Chain A
């Protein structure tokens, strides 16, 4: 998520001599990434990317805390001049009386902290100019003083809040509970939400729902121009509940993006303190109730024990202890000598770190502390050295996949073919057009387009599409693709070391195929295939056997295509062809013409001719209509054969 804050807003909390651009540069290197800084009027707007683990920095005070640690590393002054996180406590609020709220929390797991205060004598009007200006720069719509104050509080402190019209809450009674499936509620944006069930909601004394907690308030209890009394409502919720509700209802509000990440219940306190100040000052509100604070499980202090030595081991460079302590302290951590705390220590552990409340969810292991120190110290200050080179054996099976893919690709390229890479997913119509069965394909359950709904089991539908779409662009088109196809319920996957293939359902077999398509003619494609076999030194025998491919060339309205099994190509190939010793004996060449017919095909002639032990090779000389002239080469490696002998051999054909 991204947030926008301004430079002047930040200076309310931070005393620094860093310019807006220095802030951008230094914070981006060591902390939250400031994606842009833009001058508007006499202020500057920072657009800041907040990573999901650091929701505590999604606020003015959060950025100020980071700046306090980072800027001194670049020789800049930075000190928090106001530190509400450390200093604002609930006992600073002067409570009142006269108005009451009855609260029932049905399940304590829903709300980690429930607080609220009632304000009387509210005057709805415009908020002051500085609040309006800053909210506009932060990209928030200005509405009225009460609503603006709630947004201003959220951006300042990172704690979303809600304001109810107190008089619209029937019987001034709030029942916090889980929703039932199908319950309905109209939210502030006037959308009717049908609840999936299990969502955190508030029901008032009349039985109607008035809040979809952590997401958006109900329209029926909203602040209006006539509002006299306001219920300031500051809570922290069960993050998984909020997340589920925001995902299933599609209500992705700003509040939800905060609450779903889990907020620090301690931050409720500075938010309330500041909220009272702003409502009194800018909406003439008077606190008219006691403070409601239901906080069943206040988390204890979290701390970690580790050694200074671990920093240099994991970072790879020595950082002075003083520097480590300074960085951690500026980030709000407590640092002390563990040996003085009476702890049982593993040898070398001398450092005890207490984690500030707003970091308890993202700091769990020593590596998390190492990251804090390393990033603020500055990755740019860490040297760069390659790790020692060691030998790791590459499994032959994996090596073959890459070596052969590359050989085949480069060979086909040199024959003049163009390589294409298609999506692994195809459409239903491509499958049907290719004569394949839809039910043999794995289907994507959340496909974004029907063009890419099924995982392909053949490369040919994709190649057909390529050939059609390129029609007319070039007179001659010859393309190929080497890619996996995905065969449902495959038996076993050799690279699958999870050993789960026996269990159903199983992962598909991922099988590499070589697909070739041309718009020339049958024998052109056959020639390409034969050339490839020769390049891979695939012997004639396996070339003509079923296993070696003997591929079926498909003629689809002038598109000639073939799909070869990549693994068979690897298995039948040889690094060099079978060596035949050169011999000095005569080679007898004989030509013979055949009349081709379904019974006398080249393949039949070839098969018969090779029954002769003396035949070395056959060449096609000419084909005129159905008259095929072949040249036969006879010789023996041991002796000179006579023309008569050769003729006898040929006569057998």
Chain B
């Protein structure tokens, strides 16, 4: 075998792939070397030993030659500048809606203290949205809760069909579902009111807490609100109750939380905090469940008591993350959505 031939062939290989092919051609299972070895049977016995040694030498020499060339080609390759600062391969990211994100956060906070998330209708009768909540027909308080009505005949007993203006319709349904306290409910749902401007969208989300058991009192409501404020808004967040009026609770309160932007001081570097009013931000309405609401849910108010609250998801997002233009939430604008 002519050593010049394989030397020049190997030498002229320009890529590792080409070299690989030559390696197979010479050293592979059906390669030149194996062919030579298989011919040993035709060699006279006395020459066999010498023949074998020669082929082996040839094999070693070829192997070395190929390895040397391999190194050379590899070195050539590494001479191209390797820029480690380039970005990695791009993987898709996608996004969750900020409201989905908040719903998960809130659900988890309440799960830890034994509250179960429930699912109730968004389209309900006036009974569920009002009467069962101690808001009889023509009650002026119903004005504070503007309502979207559905154009179908009214139900003879349950009234007109409405889009739920709050998540409180879940209260009566949950009381009837469990039949007997304890109740530890968190109801998160879409709500609707005929309002569409810079600070209102006709659809929004609320989360409703309801706790009914023996001996539930204002101390427990405060405990729960403080727990939620610290877990959701951060350690050190304080709450404050102010008297208010809602038909479905007695006593009724509005809850404020301390402003995290100015630390509840209402001042930033001597200037007035732009986010809050005198150190506090209004979270929403709460109170002790009105005895009539318990009765309507089939629960004896002499034996049991409870608290309830209903807060806006968009509102807590605004308070926590400062996303203030609520109209973007439901515009479907990719430039807004993809950020979360």
Contact = CB atoms under 8 A, between A and B. Distances in A.
Given A424-B122, A452-B202, A418 B223 contact: no
A412 B95 CA distance: 9
A29 B337 contact: no
A622 B6 CA distance: 38
Given A240-B138, A423-B202, A484 B122 contact: yes
A244 B137 CA distance: 12
Interface in B295-340: 305, 329-335, 337-338
A151 to B, nearest CB: 23
A412 B176 CA distance: 37
Contacts of A446: 148-149, 194
Contacts of B220: 316, 385-387
Interface string A461-483: 01001100110011001110000
Given A313-B217, A316-B219, A424-B190, A30 B243 contact: yes
A389 B107 contact: no
A477 B334 contact: yes
A423 B334 CA distance: 16
Interface in B161-194: 161, 163, 173, 176-178, 182-185, 190, 192, 194
Contact of B203 (A417, A423, A466, A508): A423
A418 B152 contact: no
Given A52-B141, A390-B114, A447-B148, A510 B121 contact: yes
B144 interface: yes
Contacts of B190: 424, 484
Given A379-B241, A386-B227, A465-B332, A398 B122 contact: no
A422 B140 contact: no
A370 B123 contact: no
A464 to B, nearest CB: 11
B268 interface: no
Contacts of A503: 155-156
B140 A243 contact: yes
Contacts of B251: 367, 370-371, 374-375
A379 B227 CA distance: 16
A398 B97 contact: no
A419 B96 contact: yes
Given A409-B96, A416-B94, A473-B335, A442 B123 contact: yes
A506 B243 CA distance: 39
Contact of B158 (A240, A398, A500): A500
A401 interface: yes
A107 interface: no
A595 to B, nearest CB: 33
Contacts of A52: 140-141, 144, 245
Nearest to B177: A497
Interface string B140-160: 110010001111110111100
A313 B141 contact: no
B235 to A, nearest CB: 15
Contact of B100 (A261, A419, A497, A507): A419
Given A416-B94, A424-B192, A447-B148, A382 B219 contact: yes
Interface in B63-108: 91-97, 99-100, 104, 107
Nearest to A392: B184
Nearest to B305: A314
Given A367-B250, A384-B219, A392-B184, A28 B242 contact: yes
B191 to A, nearest CB: 10
A601 B123 CA distance: 45
- Contact residues on A (Cβ < 8 Å of other chain), bracket: 35 or more
Contact of B117 (A402, A416, A478): A402
Contacts of B140: 52, 243, 260-261
B196 A449 contact: yes
Given A424-B192, A452-B202, A383 B222 contact: yes
A452 B68 CA distance: 75
A106 interface: no
Interface string A565-584: 00000000000000000000
Interface string B6-19: 00000000000000
A371 B243 contact: yes
Interface string A277-321: 000000000000000000000000000000000000111110000
Contact of A412 (B94, B122, B150, B173): B94
B333 A469 contact: yes
Given A375-B251, A443-B151, A51 B245 contact: yes
Interface centre among B122, B141, B334 (most CB of A within 10 A): B334
A513 to B, nearest CB: 14
Given A417-B94, A500-B158, A493 B121 contact: yes
Interface string B279-303: 0000000001011000000000000
B94 A413 contact: yes
B240 A380 contact: yes
Contacts of B93: 413, 416
- Contact residues on B (Cβ < 8 Å of other chain), bracket: 35 or more
A493 B113 CA distance: 29
A462 B91 CA distance: 28
Nearest to A477: B334
B196 A448 contact: yes
A422 B194 contact: no
Contacts of A87: none
B148 A387 contact: no
A270 interface: no
Interface string B215-258: 11111101111110000000000001111110000111110000
A201 B107 CA distance: 55
B223 A384 contact: yes
B172 to A, nearest CB: 8
A437 to B, nearest CB: 16
Interface in A10-66: 28-31, 33, 51-54
A368 interface: yes
Given A315-B218, A409-B96, A495-B119, A507 B161 contact: yes
A446 B157 CA distance: 22
Interface string A380-410: 1011111111111111001001100010011
B218 A382 contact: yes
B32 interface: no
A425 interface: yes
Nearest to A24: B278
B334 to A, nearest CB: 5
A652 interface: no
Contacts of A500: 125, 155, 157-158
Contact of A419 (B150, B151, B250, B337): B337
A385 B218 CA distance: 9
Contacts of B123: 442, 455, 486, 507-508, 510
A453 to B, nearest CB: 10
15 contacts: A52-B245, A243-B138, A261-B140, A316-B217, A316-B220, A374-B251, A375-B243, A379-B222, A390-B182, A443-B150, A466-B332, A493-B121, A496-B121, A498-B125, A500-B158
Given A383-B219, A421-B329, A470-B334, 13 more contacts: A29-B242, A33-B242, A315-B218, A365-B250, A379-B241, A379-B242, A392-B115, A401-B119, A420-B332, A423-B203, A447-B194, A448-B196, A507-B123
Interface of B: 91-97, 99-100, 104, 107, 113-125, 127-128, 138, 140-141, 144, 148-153, 155-158, 161, 163, 173, 176-178, 182-185, 190, 192, 194-196, 201-203, 211, 213, 215-220, 222-227, 240-245, 250-254, 288, 290-291, 305, 329-335, 337-338
What are the 8 tightest A-B residue pairs by CB atom distance, in nearest-first order? A416-B92, A316-B219, A316-B217, A371-B251, A51-B245, A466-B332, A384-B222, A394-B116
Interface of A: 28-31, 33, 51-54, 240, 243-244, 260-261, 313-317, 365, 367-368, 370-371, 374-375, 379-380, 382-395, 398, 401-402, 406, 409-410, 412-425, 442-449, 452, 455, 462, 465-466, 469-470, 473-474, 477-479, 484, 486, 493, 495-498, 500, 503, 505, 507-508, 510
